[in-house]
């Protein structure tokens, strides 16, 4: 098990894998009709874990009410919601399935370009554009998922990075379609659902992005709390053991990779629609690298990690880039270095008690 995800409580990993494989096999082998007795304890356990915790209501309530407190920073909040969705997508494959990726921006970029081109050439309806973005990204995700099944972590890092670079070069060269370095300009969106017009202050943008984030989050929460999600964790913890207990490896990895690509495509689509602009920047390497930092800040392997990481990252970026706009990357780099070289352990040790309490409230993981 090479991919030691930073915030997974290690002592629990073994038991989690056991529970997960048990649940997975129960779901695979025992249909309710033939053996309801072996299936029901696992199902009951799953249902208990899926119950909503109070802090979760608090979190989403705060997200909904935030514009009341800070009506001027709704553009920033929109960015946070989109980054949160993007981070959620990476967490699905990195935190839950243990697939490392350095090229997640590929899916964000494809989603953004798909949504932008759809709005320019076909229809300016936001929801239809969002579906197109998700479809386009998931097609790419499905095709490239076969590339990440083989090899070691290192090959995966290289291949995902290579795919993202390939797309960047393609978007750069194919000027007639993507506008090259100028990007897609003049995207004008219709009102959401025909009711809510996009405004300059970003109010519609924020609530639109938040609604999409919330719905996709609900779907992810349900999926990761299902036998499928548990079997993914079993794969992450010990691939050999999982496949020995009857969990099909490749099919699940292809599925979750495609799913994560669709999520990233949705984030890209939202980005294109709410900023009404798509440039090569959506495919840049730093997007993928920043995303890693978001997940490191928030923690991998629980769905709120990406969201909380996105909030902290954007606030940090807002403060620092206001002070030194040109050298903002330096501080990102410093954070990465400090986090990996021991800062993470220090932070976690100091906040362990607090984190356990918070995590228990969110129901994300058990100490």
Partner 1 sequence: MLTILFDGVAYGMLLFILASGLAVTLGLMNFVNLAHGSFAMAGGYVTVVLMQRYGMGFLATLPVAFLVPALIGAVLERTLYRPLYDKSHLDQVLFSIGLVFMSVAAVDYFMGSQQQLVHVPSWLQGRFDVAGVGIGRYRSFVIAVCIVIAVLLQFVLTRTRFGSQLRAAVDDQRVARGLGIEVGTLFTLTFAIGSGLAGLGGALGAEMLGLDPTFPLKFMIYFLIVVTVGGRAGLIGPFLAALLIGVADVAGKYYLPQAGAFIIYAVMILVLLIRPQGLFAAAR
**Rounded to whole angstroms, how far apart are CA atoms 300 and 233?**
12
Question: Applying CB under 8 A, what is the total number of residues that bind partner 1?
Answer: 46
Among 54, 61, 342, 367, binds partner 1 (CB under 8 A): 342
Among 159, 187, 205, 256, binds partner 1 (CB under 8 A): 159
| Site for partner 1 contains 19 (CB under 8 A) | no
Nearer to partner 1 (CB atom), residue 121 or residue 326: 326
- Give the nearest distance from C-beta 105 to partner 1 in angstroms: 13
- Residue appearing with tokens 């990252």: 313
**Rounded to whole angstroms, how far apart are CA atoms 94 and 301?**
8
- The distance in angstroms from the start CA to the end CA of the chain is 20
- Give the nearest distance from C-beta 351 to partner 1 in angstroms: 20
**Rounded to whole angstroms, how far apart are CA atoms 272 and 264?**
12
- Give the nearest distance from C-beta 320 to partner 1 in angstroms: 11
* Eight-class DSSP state of 190: P
- Give the nearest distance from C-beta 137 to partner 1 in angstroms: 18
Q: 3-state SS of 23-77? A: HHHHHHHCCCCCCHHHHHHHHHHHHHHHCCCHHHHHHHHHHHHHHHHCHHHHHHH
Instruction: Give the residue among 184, 220, 192 at the shortest CA–CA distance from 305.
Output: 220
**Rounded to whole angstroms, how far apart are CA atoms 168 and 21?**
39
State which of positions 83-112 bind partner 1 (CB under 8 A).
100, 102
Nearer to partner 1 (CB atom), residue 240 or residue 334: 334
**Rounded to whole angstroms, how far apart are CA atoms 159 and 130?**
27
Nearer to partner 1 (CB atom), residue 120 or residue 280: 280
Nearer to partner 1 (CB atom), residue 238 or residue 356: 238
Nearer to partner 1 (CB atom), residue 316 or residue 339: 339
| Site for partner 1 contains 294 (CB under 8 A) | no
State which of positions 203-262 bind partner 1 (CB under 8 A).
none
| Site for partner 1 contains 162 (CB under 8 A) | yes
Q: Residue 188 has which token pair?
A: 């004008």
Residues of the shown chain interacting with partner 1 in the complex, contacts defined by CB under 8 A: 2-4, 6, 100, 102, 147, 150-155, 157-159, 161-163, 165-166, 169-170, 172-173, 285-286, 289, 292-293, 296, 326-330, 332-337, 339-342
């Amino acid at each position: 098990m090479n991919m030691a995800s930073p915030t997974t409580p290690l002592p629990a990993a073994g038991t989690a894998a056991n529970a997960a494989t048990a649940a997975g096999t129960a779901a695979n082998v025992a249909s309710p009709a033939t053996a309801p007795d072996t299936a029901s304890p696992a199902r009951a356990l799953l249902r208990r874990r899926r119950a909503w915790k109070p802090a979760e209501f608090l979190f989403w309530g705060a997200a909904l009410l935030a514009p009341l407190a800070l009506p001027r920073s709704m553009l920033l909040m929109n960015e946070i919601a989109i980054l949160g969705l993007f981070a959620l997508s990476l967490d699905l494959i990195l935190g839950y399935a243990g697939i490392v990726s350095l090229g997640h921006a590929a899916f964000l970029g494809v989603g953004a370009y798909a949504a932008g081109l759809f709005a320019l050439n076909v229809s300016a309806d936001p929801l239809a554009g969002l579906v197109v973005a998700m479809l386009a990204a998931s097609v790419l995700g499905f095709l490239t998922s076969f590339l990440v099944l083989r090899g070691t972590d290192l090959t995966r890092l290289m291949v995902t990075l290579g795919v993202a670079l390939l797309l960047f070069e393609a978007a750069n060269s194919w000027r007639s379609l993507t506008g090259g370095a100028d990007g897609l300009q003049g995207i004008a969106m219709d009102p959401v659902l025909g009711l809510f017009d996009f405004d300059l202050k970003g109010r519609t943008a924020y609530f639109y992005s938040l609604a999409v984030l919330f719905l996709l989050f609900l779907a992810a929460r349900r999926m990761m709390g299902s036998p499928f999600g548990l079997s993914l964790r079993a794969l992450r913890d010990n691939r050999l053991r999982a496949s020995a207990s009857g969990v099909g490896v490749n099919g699940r990895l292809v599925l979750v990779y495609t799913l994560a690509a669709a999520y990233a495509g949705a984030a890209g689509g939202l980005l294109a629609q709410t900023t009404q602009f798509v440039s090569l920047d959506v495919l840049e390497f730093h997007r993928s690298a920043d995303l890693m930092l978001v997940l490191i800040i928030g923690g991998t392997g629980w769905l709120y990690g990406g969201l909380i990481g996105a909030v902290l990252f954007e606030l940090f970026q807002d403060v620092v880039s206001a002070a030194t706009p040109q050298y903002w990357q330096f501080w990102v780099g410093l954070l990465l270095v400090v986090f990996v070289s021991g800062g993470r352990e220090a932070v976690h040790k100091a906040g362990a008690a607090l984190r356990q309490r918070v995590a228990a409230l969110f129901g994300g993981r058990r100490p």
